[in-house]
Structure 1
Amino acid sequence: MTTITSETALPPVRPFYQTSERRDERRQMIGVVQYRAAEEGVKIADGVVTVTVPSPGNSVTECWPAESGTITSGVHGDVHWSHDQENLFAALSIPDSGALGEKVRQAYAALLTTTADLGFPQIYRVWNYIGKINDSNDAGLERYRDFCRGRADAFSDLAWAPHALPSGTGIGFAEGGVTVFLLARRTSDAANVENPLQMPAYEYPDTYGPRSPSFARATSVTAVGAPSLYISGTASIRGHRTIGNTLEEQIQVTMENIDALLASSDGDPVRFETLKIYVRHQEDMDTVATAFRDRYKVTAHAAPVLRADICRSDLLLEVEGVASRNDGPRP
């Protein structure tokens, strides 16, 4: 029997972006995410998990190409999944309601259990898109905090240690309930990274809600000897507090946080392959996108900008990305 190690396993998947709904048919995919004005949902189309995130004003398709020619897909309950034997893409959507916490707990439990049952225990990236994220639920609790309570409860129920929590993004759009999708690996070759300039999110004080946000600032995957760094949604937060009253100040602090993550990770992955840029106000989109594309030398094609709500009402932007070491192979 062949032993799979981080030196022989397939590399982690990296995204590419299209500004249309049509998928690139020349490459096999394990996941496709459409950000556009449409009803939310998750389905399997032609063997590929296809996620629709309702985001009026946006039109971006995010593609996750397989690293092998052998694709397997299926559905377990509400969880739709597809994998290339090493990397798993799994997703589900939660219909909107006046209270999210318990439904999120159940959904997260299903996602975590399904990935483990399928043999992909190493979750290395999670995205959470929440409709009306800064609004209040029926009990007066902010919907993001309601979501965080359900997510944290699911991790606690399954005895996940805080240091094992994967990198994540929590972003809001004008419509929808909750859409969650993740990447997981069969090989345990990932390590989470915290930012020395920020308090770990899972240690936030209770002023931010009944349960702290459950994610790491980044995750490094070391397969095939060339680390890839998956940076969580990063904003203008120092310690646990929002910093900066102007757009320019928040851009600068966010860049400093990203630079600290790049410098802290093993293997020092310093070249961004892709960025995904979220901006609260339509009139700020061009300014923010240009600043980050220029700073990190990423083309507009590889760094889409989305009009979105951020998890704190005083935050104006958030940026995530996938980086690799300069001598590592490009996707």
Structure 2
Amino acid sequence: MAQNPLSRPLTIRFQHEAQVPPQDPCRLALIRFGRENRADPARPMELTVALPPLVEPVPPELWLADEPVAAGFEDGVGYSRTDKVLFGWILLNEADFNHDMNQAAEHAYDRLLAFHRGRGFPHLLRIWNYFPNLHQEAEGLDRYQAFCLGRHRALERVPLTEGELPAATAIGTTAPGLLVYFLAGREPGVQIENPRQVSAFHYPRRYGPKSPSFSRATLKRWPDRAHLYISGTASIVGHETLHTDVLTQLDEIIENLRALIRSAGEDISNRVGDPGDLSMLKVYVRHAEDTAAVKARLEATLGDQAPAVYLRGDICRDDLLVEIEGLYA
């Protein structure tokens, strides 16, 4: 079979549903968005995330490898892989953990960390975390803080140091279940931090007993072109939330994205002049009624051809109204 003419191990893009081939031996993942989580061990390359689209239609994400993919489901983890990259996921029922997000997160990360390392892909490049009711409190912590605590304990046992933390997203969904999925490689990426922000690893304790464990972005140099995987990015400067209205928060996010692109160096900045040049933008909006204004401002700033989708999701702090993740792949 002919290889991908771009000869990269992976490309990721939005693809309209009607243009997605029903069968493709090089499909590493197909990720859709809806009102419930769906994951089928018999089709481990496909996921649906419980993030309702706010602007229809929302095309799925299509991850294409440059060679045929092997896939399976083992030890509660669905996966697909080539010789160079590994995609994997776990979907947990919180009832199995007495609805304790701390325990569920620790279990999920224990499983995933053992899985990707055990299969020869020791380096996490990007990870996504989705679960409902981020701000519901129990025993003095909200569920996002409890998630961070459980994740931190699992990472400490590996151990995974600050400089090895991947780019990440954590967003509140509309349906039960903790869904975590990831991209891992045989060789590491480069952690990118934002000079406008304190590393999340060094947040003050008032944000939770354990800091969020992620880098602001991961730069991965493949033989012919670099990828940039940008974490969920909010209106935070230093470690403080800035602004109380959604549009000013959006403007601050765009400045943070620009800073990350510059910090990635010439590998990226020679190809990506502005966030609108990224391959993909996912815009998470807390209040559905803000969508039209957010879309209009983003298009006015980045152009109406920017590859963005708009999804209903809760953000990690209750004073944050919008968040954007991006990638260049």
TM bucket normalised to smaller: 0.7 to 0.9
Please give the alpha-carbon distance, in whole angstroms, between the structure 2 residues aligned to 1:249 and 1:216.
Answer: 24
Selected match of 1:33 from 28, 31, 34 = 31
Equivalent residue for 1:274? 280
CA drift of 1:320 comes to 0.7
Are the aligned partners of 1:33 and 1:51 in contact in 2 as well (CA < 8 Å)? Answer: yes
Trace 1:56-205 onto structure 2 (pairs within 5 A).
56=52, 60=58, 62-97=60-95, 98-137=99-138, 139-186=139-186, 188-205=187-204
CA distances 1:141-193 after superposition (whole Å, capped 9, x unpaired) = 2010111111111110111111100000010023212110001112x151110
Please give the alpha-carbon distance, in whole angstroms, between the structure 2 residues aligned to 1:212 and 1:133.
Answer: 16
| Paired residue type of 2:68 | T
| Paired residue type of 1:49 | M
Please give the alpha-carbon distance, in whole angstroms, between the structure 2 residues aligned to 1:21 and 1:54.
Answer: 21
* SS of aligned partner of 1:304: strand
Q: Does 1:14 align with 2:12?
A: yes
Are the aligned partners of 2:194 and 2:259 in contact in 1 as well (CA < 8 Å)? Answer: yes
* SS of aligned partner of 1:278: strand
| Paired residue type of 1:185 | G
Are the aligned partners of 1:272 and 1:296 in contact in 2 as well (CA < 8 Å)? Answer: no
* SS of aligned partner of 2:279: strand
CA drift of 1:87 comes to 1.6
Are the aligned partners of 1:221 and 1:228 in contact in 2 as well (CA < 8 Å)? Answer: yes
| Paired residue type of 1:112 | L
Equivalent residue for 2:296? 290
Question: How many residues get paired?
Answer: 311
| Paired residue type of 1:317 | V
Residues 158, 298 of structure 1: alpha-carbon distance in 2 compared, 3 angstrom cutoff:
farther
* SS of aligned partner of 2:65: coil
Selected match of 2:309 from 301, 304, 316 = 304
CA drift of 1:279 comes to 0.6
Please give the alpha-carbon distance, in whole angstroms, between the structure 1 residues aligned to 2:282 and 2:42.
Answer: 24
CA distances 1:5-56 after superposition (whole Å, capped 9, x unpaired) = xxx98434323244x5995436432112222123x2422445x422222234
* SS of aligned partner of 2:87: strand
CA distances 1:208-247 after superposition (whole Å, capped 9, x unpaired) = 1111101000001110232221111000001111000112
Are the aligned partners of 2:31 and 2:49 in contact in 1 as well (CA < 8 Å)? Answer: yes
| Paired residue type of 2:72 | G
Q: Which contiguous aligned blocks of 4+ residues in structure 1 show a shift greater than 6 angstroms?
A: none
Are the aligned partners of 1:12 and 1:223 in contact in 2 as well (CA < 8 Å)? Answer: no
Q: Which runs of 5+ in 1 are unaligned?
A: 1-7, 325-331
Could you tell me the TM-score, scaled by structure 1's length? 0.87
| Paired residue type of 1:299 | Q
Q: Does 1:249 align with 2:254?
A: no
Q: Which runs of 5+ in 2 are unaligned?
A: 1-5
Aligned CA RMSD, in angstroms, stands at 2.3
Residues 22, 274 of structure 1: alpha-carbon distance in 2 compared, 3 angstrom cutoff:
same
| Paired residue type of 1:104 | A
CA drift of 1:275 comes to 0.6
CA drift of 1:303 comes to 1.2
